[in-house]
A = this chain, B = another copy of it.
């Protein structure tokens, strides 16, 4: 498979120090010598294909992951089988902290498209963290961001209507894509309407209708999963309070 080969090739070359995502990733804020040590821990497993799980709820946590390519979704399964989508993760973003307290993951992460990660084995990471306060602080910072994201979502879910929710979501994605060197005005949604709806606490019909409405109003153009934001200013007004930014583990 050609794709597999390309990815493996990249994997061999990838190192935190040279990684174009480094600034967004765990290494951010670490000094060169600490970075070297961190780098030695990193594993780069084979890519996952669409739908494959990176980890599952109640799995013993054995690593933190950085998205290298592709994208992920995390969700959480209620006792009665209902799913709740908790977040989406783009390249450079970290996931898997949810287990740091208990040693067990609380949610499942699966790939929305073919995707690959860097893996930081927990045992060695904690050992390193116990000796490097700076790494500890970095981990606190990341968990804090997770909390910040969840609290933004609480505000969104309790106060915002469908338009505000979708606008917030799209601007957030745009901002995160932009930060990664992709276009912030035009992008591909790797998640289905159903996933977006679940994440935003709506039904897929409402998401679909709201997309159509935004398009009629000239705020964006959308065709299946391709979106182009045409009037970010107005979208931003629609999105309402709470920074449109800051979703997921992005800085």
Which A residues lie at the B interface, using CB under 8 A? 76, 78-80, 82, 84, 86, 97-102, 106-107, 126, 129-130, 133, 136-137, 139-148, 150-151, 153-155, 157-159, 198, 200-201, 240-242
> Given A151-B86, A242-B79, A101–B201 Cβ distance below 8 Å?
no
Q: Which of B133, B141, B151 contacts A106 (CB 8 A)?
A: B151
Q: Which residues of B contact A154 (CB under 8 A)?
A: 84, 86, 150, 153-154, 157
- Distance (whole angstroms) from the CB of A195 to the closest CB of chain B: 13
Q: Which residues of B contact A241 (CB under 8 A)?
A: 78-80, 82
Q: Does B143 contact A240, Cβ atoms closer than 8 Å?
A: no
Q: Which residues of B contact A86 (CB under 8 A)?
A: 151, 154
Q: List 7 interface pairs A-B (beta carbons < 8 Å), by A numbering.
A: A76-B155, A100-B143, A100-B144, A101-B141, A126-B133, A140-B143, A157-B201
- Bound-state Cα–Cα, A106 to B101, Å: 21
Q: Which of B80, B102, B201 contacts A158 (CB 8 A)?
A: B201
